[in-house]
Chain A
Amino acid sequence: MNAREIPLYTLNNKWENTIFTLLAFLGVCFSVYFFNTSSSSLVQLKGFFFELAFDKFSLFLSAVFCLSLFVGLYPVRKENEIDKSFIYYVLWGLGILLSNNLTTFFVFWTLQRSLPAILIFRSIRNSNTRGGGTYLIQHLTVFGCLLALIFLALNSGYATASFSEIPKSFFTWPVLILSFIIIYESHGIFPFHSWVHDLVGQFSWYKIAALFLARPGVLLFVKFLEPTIQHDPHIFTTMLLALSIFSSIYWSIRGIFETNVAQTTTYFSVAASSLLLTGLQADHTAALGTYLNLLVISLCGTSMWSMMSYIQRYTSIKRINQYYGLAQFYPNIATLFCLFGFCMIGTPLGASFVVEDLVINGLLDKQPYLGLGHILATCLNGILFFKVFTRLFLGTNAYPTKVNNFDLTRLQMLPYVAVLMVMFLIGIAPRLFLVNLQW
């Protein structure tokens, strides 16, 4: 297969190169800072009602956020024209990840989520597009919930207090329910998931990736809810757990039924990320597995998304209701896609095998019966991945589409291969990484 060569950096315009440099620079800075900081250290930036924290957890999330976007975007930079508004997705996303009190979280969450809302609003206003309504209505509802939470916090005097300073007495039923809606809606978890359908297909994949990678649900859960979760009513914690497991099952089955390429890939990724909240709610072992899962899902999921966008750019494939046999035209992409998938579905020697082991054992220690649901979810997720992979890359093309012969070059493969090496290293020697995931 002849592949065209792409120079290291000269293809894109100055603006796009700035974005790549920023993502790489921030990713490296956060990573270095993360590995060189102890679990107890905390650097805070405070001012007026703002509070940003550079603790180990936020640094980890931020590093994963920047590196995932970089790895996803850089190899396919020629194929994606990066919109200028993307910088705001990145900045507000980082703001969410570093926020350390409710007000700061509220501001950054509102800023980031309003970016798609503005576009949807404009498209509805100026044309006949009839999409995006669910995103608008659901996010308006969550905006209302956040406002109500801030109001309750103001009443109790915790609106600008650090998350760690909020006492358990604050977590009354209304607070718990409001937080539950905010966390689950932000994460796209059942039954607040419908907005995901609305975004996919309407927006560039990397913007949706930035929305998901900001992980507002995870941040709010870990910093806000988790410290006092053992005092929360048992029924509440069981419901949270059951819903996140059910959500993963739902997304996987939905993906298996779906034929739209972009939606199926997104569902695969969302199904995997639904499991994040499952692990966080179980115990220490499962939580550690979840942090590792966060790294795996973010890096591998974004890479898969980016490869998918690359393929869609050169083919006209929209639906996977037939076999396309793209491995014949894109052997490198097919191999990488397959390996990334294996790294996400719990294949041994890949990172997610460790994740699966930790999360399932931790979860079953707490909820032996719900844990079986988690096992079903991972099983379905694997089936979904195979469906996408086989339909896209294997088989004979029954209705030949015009396929351009543009496989990834070695240079383009480099970031992906680096990520894969990390995934396999985690899969072989997990303790090297797990010692650093303590906070």
Chain B
Amino acid sequence: MEYLFLNLLLLPLVWMIFLGLSFFARLQLSERFLSESVKFLAMIMSLMSLLLSAMVVMNGFEPLVLDYADWIHVGEYDFKIRFIIDFLGVTYALLSSLLIGIIFRFSRNYLHKEEGYFRFIFLLSTLLFALQVISFGRALDIIFFGWELVGTTSVLLISYFYTNSQPVRHSFRAIVSYRFCDMGILAAAAWAHHYMHTTDFNEMSRLLHDPHLHTAGHGGQIALFFVGLFIVWASLAKSGQLPFSSWLPAAMEGPTPSSAIFYGALSIHLGPFLLLRFYDYFHHFPLLLWIIGLIGALSALYATAVGRTRSDAKTMLAYATISQVGIIWVEIALGFTHFAIFHMVAHASLRTWQFLRSSSLIQDFFENPVVHQHETIQRNLSVEKMVSKNLRKKIFLHALHGFHLDYFTQRSLDGLSWPMRAYISFEKKWMNLNNSIATSIFKKR
């Protein structure tokens, strides 16, 4: 089992390094070679994931804990390479391998003769590696490693068509959201290290139930609550939850296969995945579960309302995804963790299909039997009918503007930046004064 796991982890890494070196060595790998290789890689990965899942099932869902040598060891600090093979991990790893395999196959035709095909394959291979790390990582530091890689590949794929300014602008928006939320996971890891002397989520949850926790030099309840809060904070951007929702529809500027895999399937579900990993920890702090539920519910409502005002397929799908992920957050908050895993897998698979078919939407529409029968499509849900027409109109108008989320974000940033603007203006005056003094002293008369 361990051998299989190591292969699963190292295979994409080796492939990634090979691609990186071939780039520097200027080996012009043909499109055919690349597409055949990744097809093979995805098949092997899927088979290995499947086998690993079967082993976990046969072991009665008993998690296997793996500890390797310290990656960094300095004084009292060590970065341990720790993994866990459990139900959640293998489910996500299997999902990743299968869906990325589908994307590899799809992009073979979709990105045929595209200039950036090599780049696309390299970034998707990096994603595959990063997702394996996150799926099996047992410590926050390890998860952060994969987390950052997913963010980086995501941003680079949004700006895949880098000769257009719009995708680039949107990729910058995505990176700002990512970086702000990645602070959360980094802070959680560092505080966990400081207050609990471990970043292993199993140990962290176990320590919370230890009656001697506070006497053993660990942090108080507030500090430990904040560790949990940082984790919730970290999950916000990746899963596009409020207030970090508006970057996601904008991120659809990347090629359709990457939108499918990142924002329909895998990257978007990393937020719920992280919450599920730390569910036992959150269970100790009911307030955190309330926060998770509230954010999820609000995001779901927001995305549903806004999504219904949008007219292009990918944007509608993006909002639908946010809405479903919001519901998954609520499920986690309510304690339906197994249902949340099922929902996550089902939703990821459905969205991948929807995103990949989004470019053939018109064709699909006319091939729809409902259209052929000239029947009208039911547009208003019964819940909507309960709301008065006036209110519906008002909600629609606000939803059309995305509930002014971008406007408020912009205003908040402007509000935060005024001290800096004031200081810059003061500094300019100060420098001018210095220059005048220097000129009056040193200039030839």
Contacts and interface: CB of A to CB of B under 8 A. Distances in A.
A17 interface: no
Contacts of A131: 435
Contacts of A348: 130, 145-146, 148-149
Kindly state the interface size class of chain A when it binds its partner: 35 or more
17 contacts: A133-B436, A134-B431, A136-B442, A257-B417, A257-B424, A342-B152, A357-B79, A358-B72, A358-B77, A365-B193, A365-B194, A379-B180, A382-B175, A390-B171, A396-B164, A431-B73, A434-B72
Kindly state the interface size class of chain B when it binds its partner: 35 or more
Contacts of A347: 148-149, 152
Given A131-B435, A346-B148, 9 more contacts: A125-B443, A133-B431, A194-B434, A257-B417, A347-B152, A348-B149, A349-B149, A365-B193, A430-B71
Contacts of A378: 186
A197 interface: yes
Interface string A53-90: 00000000000000000000000000000000000000
B191 interface: yes
Contacts of B431: 133-134, 194, 197-198
B200 interface: no
A47 B325 CA distance: 72
B409 to A, nearest CB: 14
Contacts of B130: 348
Interface stretch (A29-37, A215-223, A369-377): A369-377
B48 to A, nearest CB: 22
Interface of A: 120-121, 124-126, 130-134, 136-138, 194, 197-198, 253-254, 257, 283-285, 288, 323, 325, 327-328, 335, 342, 346-349, 353-354, 356-358, 360-362, 364-365, 368, 371-372, 375-376, 378-380, 382-383, 386-387, 390, 393-396, 398, 410, 417, 430-431, 434
A284 B152 contact: no
Given A386-B172, A394-B168, A395-B164, A125 B434 contact: no
Contacts of B180: 379
B430 interface: yes
Contacts of B179: 379-380, 382-383
Interface in B403-434: 417, 420-421, 424, 427, 430-432, 434
Given A288-B74, A379-B182, A390 B159 contact: yes
Contacts of B149: 347-349
A131 B437 CA distance: 11
Given A357-B72, A375-B183, A382-B175, A285 B424 contact: no
Nearest to B159: A394
A254 B421 CA distance: 9
B194 A395 contact: no
